[in-house]
Amino acid sequence: MRRIVSVFSAIFAISAGILVLLGYFVRIDPLPQVRDLLIDWTVIIAGAAVFVGILNLIMVHMEKIRTRQKGAGYGALLVISLFFTAVYGVVFGPEDPLMRLSVDAVIIPVEGTLMALLAVTLIYASIRLLRRRVDIASVIFLAVALAFLIAVVLIPIIPVSNSFLQFLAMFSRGGARGLLIGIALGTLLTGLRVLFGADRPYGGN
Amino acid sequence: MIDWIGLGLLALAAFLLLLFIFLRRKTPAVVRRIEAYERLNRAVGLAVEKGTRLHISLGRGNLFTARGGSALAGLALLRRIVERTSVSDRPPIATSGDPTLAILSQDTMLSGYRAAGAEEQYRFTTGRLTGLAPFSYAAGTMPIAHDENVSASVVMGDLGAEAALVAESADREDNSLIAASDNLSAQAIFYASAQDPLIGEELFAGGAYTGAGPSHDASLNVQDILRWLVIVAILAGSVLKLIGMI
């Protein structure tokens, strides 16, 4: 039975992938329509996946509480908060003042704090870079980062010629494009592997 | 209407991939040394010996967008890691910030255990969704390095600036960090945070360096050929522009 499911899921995934891909390149009826229909189905499945994901989150924390693992208290807090927020949101809707307060007074400040923490973390990581890897590339990396920070502060104060800025941007743009081309090629080949069934992240490989 | 150029490039890549898969079945590829993957192979062995865990962060790459490629590369690596650590008492943990990716990570782990003949080792709680927003994902992922007896963290997928928090949590616990992303901000962060950073397309080489099979070796060969084609096209374009033909 498992073998049949595995073969069926592979056939369905590969044929759906080929049809969607062809729909992008061959705009002759009915391929674009088939592509749109398959994408619509995918969006519905992705919506259902959010519920499965949240269920998984609850199960992981319930398991933590049941087996009294480290951080089980935080897990309990998460499950209780999730339950009350979800019930309140379903009953009173997302526009309710208390519901909005839970977003404005809890979630946004917490994310803001993490963002502030991020700045400190990045400075700390940069300082430790020279301790971890002392090579020419690390020195150039830090020098460029420092030069960029100084430029960001000074450019509004000291007028710098536009052509000089464009000259500097040429290097960063070139480097970024080089990296992105490499990533695009990698993505293409990874997609093709999935399309050929060589990689099957949907199971049964 | 048919986009012949796009379709032609795709057909060329597909043909080359199939050709190299056939060739690599007979002669495995010789690949250059990448220190981060050497470290990963050592970390996998050490985790099994010491009875510690590996933590694989797959990022927030939505599979329905262009960012899904890095997530798929992360899943391929996860599969290999699961197979190789299937004898360990402590199974690896996979975290993601996208629900579809979380489901696929569970399925990938189950497949890995099945392939290793250790299906009973699989626990569905080891494939986790830790948060849906960038910072909630980071907040949910950070405690794992501290709480779950992790000795090495693999961060592979689409992450933004929040990657710094994930990397820092691994560093604080003195874990090995093997990190790569398709996002330029995250790459810069990993360059500063990881012992041996993976740059650009090295993200997609994980399968080939962990022995995931001929299709991964073939991918590297085809990437090299396509990269040369892109270089030739850029140079030809520059020359044609210079002489005023385009």
User: Strand, coil or helix: what is B116?
Assistant: coil
Q: Mean pLDDT of all residues in chain B?
A: 89
Count other Cβ atoms within 10 Å, centred on residue A24. 14
**Which positions in chain B touch A133 (Cβ < 8 Å)?**
195
Placement of tokens 């990269």 in the chain: B227
| pLDDT for res A203 | 65
**Which positions in chain B touch A185 (Cβ < 8 Å)?**
201, 223, 226-227, 230
Average pLDDT of the segment spanning B195-210: 88
Give me the residue from A60, A176, A192 closest to B14, CB to CB.
A192
Placement of tokens 């967008």 in the chain: B65
CB of A126 within 8 Å of a chain B CB? The answer is yes
Q: Looking at the predicted structure, is the pLDDT value of residue A163 above 80?
A: no
**Residues A166, A141: one domain?**
no
Least Cα separation, residue B161 to chain A (angstroms)? 8
Model confidence band, residue A204 (pLDDT cutoffs 50, 70, 90): low
User: pLDDT tens digit string along B140-166?
Assistant: 899 998 888 899 999 999 998 889 999
**Residues A136, A173: one domain?**
no
CB of A92 within 8 Å of a chain B CB? The answer is no
| pLDDT for res B124 | 84
Q: Torsion over CA of B4, B7, B8 and B12, rounded to 10 degrees?
A: 180
CATH number assigned to the domain with residue range B35-197, chosen from the 4 options 2.60.40, 3.30.720, 3.40.50, 2.40.50: 3.40.50
Least Cα separation, residue A22 to chain B (angstroms)? 8
**Residues A138, A175: one domain?**
no
The alpha-helical segments, DSSP class H, found in B148-211 are: 163-172, 184-193, 206-209
Domain assignments of chain B as residue spans, ordered by start: 12-30+213-246, 35-197
**Residues A114, A141: one domain?**
yes
| Residue A84 within any structural domain of the chain | no
| Residue A27 within any structural domain of the chain | no
| Residue A87 within any structural domain of the chain | no
| pLDDT for res A102 | 83
Both tokens of B133, joined, read: 């927003």
- DSSP lists the bridge partners of residue A23 as none
- Report the distance separating Cα B205 and Cα B129, nearest Å: 25
Sheet holding B93-96, edge to edge: B127-129, B93-96, B53-59, B150-158, B176-181
- Report the distance separating Cα A25 and Cα A18, nearest Å: 11
**Which positions in chain A touch B147 (Cβ < 8 Å)?**
69-71
User: pLDDT tens digit string along B15-61?
Assistant: 999 999 998 888 877 888 899 999 999 999 999 888 899 999 999 88
User: pLDDT tens digit string along B102-152?
Assistant: 999 999 999 889 888 888 888 888 999 998 888 889 988 999 988 888 999
Burial class of residue A124 (count of CB atoms within 10 Å of its CB; 0-12, 13-18, 19+): middle
User: pLDDT tens digit string along A28-60?
Assistant: 888 889 999 999 998 898 889 999 999 999 998
Model confidence band, residue A180 (pLDDT cutoffs 50, 70, 90): very high
User: pLDDT tens digit string along B204-243?
Assistant: 998 889 888 899 999 999 999 999 999 999 999 999 999 9
User: pLDDT tens digit string along B66-110?
Assistant: 788 899 999 999 999 999 998 888 889 999 999 999 999 999 999
Average pLDDT of the segment spanning A10-27: 87
Helix (H) / strand (E) element for B39: namely helix B35-50
- DSSP structure string for A39-56: HHHHHHHHHHHHHHHHHH
**Residues A106, A155: one domain?**
yes
- Report the distance separating Cα B15 and Cα A192, nearest Å: 10
Average pLDDT of the segment spanning A169-182: 89
Count: domains in chain A: 2
Question: Taking the CA of residue B135 as centre, how many other CA atoms within 13 Å lie in the half-sphere pointing to its CB?
Answer: 12
- Which residues 82-141 on chain B approach chain A with CB closer than 8 angstroms? 98-100, 102-104, 106-108, 110-111, 115, 124-125, 127-130, 132-133, 135-136, 138-140
Both tokens of A144, joined, read: 């460029």
Question: Taking the CA of residue B132 as centre, how many other CA atoms within 13 Å lie in the half-sphere pointing to its CB?
Answer: 13
- Which residues 53-82 on chain B approach chain A with CB closer than 8 angstroms? 62, 64, 66, 68-70, 72-73, 75-76, 79
Instruction: Give me the interface pTM, i.e. the ipTM.
Output: 0.91
Q: Which chain A residue's Cα is nearest to B8?
A: A25
- Report the distance separating Cα A63 and Cα A49, nearest Å: 21
Domain holding A178, by residue range, is 161-205
User: pLDDT tens digit string along A100-159?
Assistant: 888 888 888 888 888 888 888 888 888 888 777 788 888 888 888 888 888 778 777 777
Spatial CA neighbour of B85 closest among B58, B46, B120, B124: B46
| pLDDT for res A205 | 52
- DSSP lists the bridge partners of residue B57 as B95, B155
**Residues A142, A166: one domain?**
no
Q: Looking at the predicted structure, is the pLDDT value of residue A165 above 80?
A: no
- DSSP structure string for A131-186: HH--SHHHHHHHHHHHHHHHHHHHTTTS---HHHHHHHHHHHHHHHHHHHHHHHHH
- Report the distance separating Cα A10 and Cα A114, nearest Å: 41
Helix (H) / strand (E) element for B143: namely helix B134-147
- Report the distance separating Cα B141 and Cα B71, nearest Å: 16
Q: Mean pLDDT of all residues in chain A?
A: 85
| Residue A85 within any structural domain of the chain | no
